[in-house]
Structure 1
Amino acid sequence: MAAATSHLTLDSEYQTVRLAVLGAPGVGKSSIVRQFVMQQFPEEYVPTEQRQVFCPAVIINEHLYEVRIIDCPYIPYFPVNSLYEWTDFRGYGLRNATAYVLVYDITSEDSFEYIKSLRLQILESRSRQDVPIFVVGNKHDLAEERGVPRREVANMVKKQWKCGYIECSAKFNWHIMLLFKELMKSIDFIDYGHKPTSMRVQDALRRNRCVIL
């Protein structure tokens, strides 16, 4: 899968990034990924039982990335070392991920408590402290049934955790593209060391000159 453009000047080489999408069962991890990659939303819930990898190409700030999105089944804990990575989560590649997307259901306080614990385990287990972590509150279409106040969560995630935060609706494809744009801007900033701007890419997208698959 690739991204193509005839009007943007791109780097001659692309970089590969690995995004691990994690969360409790039923929060919509797979639906978010499928909306971004294929613009599809499955009406019937099917639990993710094994790792799935999607490989779109993404252009951000005129840099081309091959993105390997790892859609993970529910994991009871984050592997604390390479031994546990191999024996309990064979082939997941969790410890080598470039960034993490932690998804919770805004109607379920338990699903937020799960990613809160998972984030601490990631920080304790990874030597790199600058690894991007994005917290995603899915099912915004059910906002009237919200379990944890948005302001409370947003303040905690942004100010205390220093993580990105966004709410979305996989069902209605709301803020899905924005989520991955913001995440890739963070990765691009780490890679290239400049303040990321996406205006040229956004303009190209509006004119259908750049295709993200």
Structure 2
Amino acid sequence: MGGTLRVAVLGAPGVGKTAIIRQFLYGDFPERHRPTAARRLYRPAVLLNGAVYDLSISDGGPGPAPAPTAGPATAPAAAAASAASSSSASASSAAASAATSAASSAGDGGLQELPDLKDWSLQDIDAFVLVYDICSPESFDYVKVLRQQIAENRPAGAPEAPIIVVGNKRDQQRQRFSPRRALAVLVRKSWKCGYMECSAKYNWHVVLLFKELLSSVLARGCKHSHPAIRLQGALHPNRCSLM
């Protein structure tokens, strides 16, 4: 066994966090949205260069700690995303409160209060996926505050964990609130995070997201990784399998 890699998938309600995870693990898309009432934990396995890694994927919700398991212990999966490390600069509490208020007051998106990341044992998380809806500026504000919280609550001395900001619902490109390039430049240059877009509905760039994310974690010498580990082969575009 190669060890366990812990990934947290966070974002505002309704942006497609669970849909992305389920498309990655099972290749399906729930047509009807059902809000995630509490955090869920998925435990798929990934084969990397002859070594088996357990992925622990936390599906972020506003509720309490994750349930023991949601999904099979060895679901077929592939991994990970090009991401830069999170910025270590702390944002002011006034700015965070303002952005939180904006996210909480959104009407159509139904955005709720941010989860308390103090309960997440951030030192144990190897990478973060922050998801927003490309049609919802409020969900982008929500992600902005999440990134600030991660920087503020990451324990001193803990290794930096890659963060990738993901714009979901690319299939609704015509309704987007801002050009892709402008957001990508902001996230990559100002936030020092990775950026990409996907469509959970059509399984576009979903596998690539996890492939790049895990590549970034291993490249950073995560405490669970082996220095000789590298991704091998290619990913089938319609299956979550690493060859």
**TM-score, normalised on structure 2?**
0.69
How far apart, CA to CA, are the structure 2 residues paired with 1:135 and 1:31?
16
One-letter amino acid of the structure 2 residue matched with residue 178 of structure 1: L
Query: Once the 2 structures are TM-superposed, how far is the Cα of residue 58 of structure 1 from its aligned partner?
Result: 1.6
* Gap regions ≥5 residues in structure 2: 63-112
Corresponding residue of 2:192: 162
Query: Once the 2 structures are TM-superposed, how far is the Cα of residue 18 of structure 1 from its aligned partner?
Result: 1.0
How far apart, CA to CA, are the structure 2 residues paired with 1:168 and 1:55?
22
How far apart, CA to CA, are the structure 2 residues paired with 1:33 and 1:143?
21
Matches within 5 A, 1:199-210: 200-202=232-234, 205=235
How far apart, CA to CA, are the structure 2 residues paired with 1:104 and 1:42?
18
Corresponding residue of 1:6: none
Q: Is the 2:128–2:162 contact (alpha carbons within 8 Å) kept by the matching residues of 1?
A: yes
Select which of 43, 46, 49 maps to 1:58: 46
User: Is 2:159 aligned against 1:132?
Assistant: no
Select which of 149, 158, 162 maps to 2:179: 149
What is the SS of the residue equivalent to 1:107? coil
Corresponding residue of 2:74: none
Select which of 76, 81, 87 maps to 2:114: 76
Go from structure 1 to structure 2 and tell me whether the alpha carbon gap of 1:147 and 1:193 turns closer, same or farther (over 3 Å shift): farther
What is the SS of the residue equivalent to 1:22? strand
Deviates more, 1:120-129 or 1:100-109: 120-129
Query: Once the 2 structures are TM-superposed, how far is the Cα of residue 64 of structure 1 from its aligned partner?
Result: 3.0
One-letter amino acid of the structure 1 residue matched with residue 14 of structure 2: G
Go from structure 1 to structure 2 and tell me whether the alpha carbon gap of 1:166 and 1:15 turns closer, same or farther (over 3 Å shift): same
Query: Once the 2 structures are TM-superposed, how far is the Cα of residue 144 of structure 1 from its aligned partner?
Result: 0.3
What is the SS of the residue equivalent to 1:201? coil
% of aligned pairs identical?
46
Query: Once the 2 structures are TM-superposed, how far is the Cα of residue 35 of structure 1 from its aligned partner?
Result: 0.3
One-letter amino acid of the structure 1 residue matched with residue 18 of structure 2: S
How far apart, CA to CA, are the structure 1 residues paired with 2:3 and 2:229?
16
Q: Is the 1:35–1:176 contact (alpha carbons within 8 Å) kept by the matching residues of 2?
A: yes
Q: Is the 1:77–1:121 contact (alpha carbons within 8 Å) kept by the matching residues of 2?
A: no
CA RMSD of the aligned region, Å? 2.4
Q: Deviations over 1:64-114 (max 9, x none)?
A: 32101111114624434xxxx2xxxxxx55552111110000000000011
How far apart, CA to CA, are the structure 2 residues paired with 1:115 and 1:106?
12
One-letter amino acid of the structure 2 residue matched with residue 125 of structure 1: N
One-letter amino acid of the structure 2 residue matched with residue 118 of structure 1: L
**TM-score, normalised on structure 1?**
0.78
How far apart, CA to CA, are the structure 1 residues paired with 2:115 and 2:46?
30
* Gap regions ≥5 residues in structure 1: 1-12, 86-91
Matches within 5 A, 1:29-40: 29-40=17-28
Query: Once the 2 structures are TM-superposed, how far is the Cα of residue 149 of structure 1 from its aligned partner?
Result: 1.8
Go from structure 1 to structure 2 and tell me whether the alpha carbon gap of 1:146 and 1:111 turns closer, same or farther (over 3 Å shift): same
Counting matched residue pairs gives 185
Corresponding residue of 1:28: 16
What is the SS of the residue equivalent to 1:48? coil
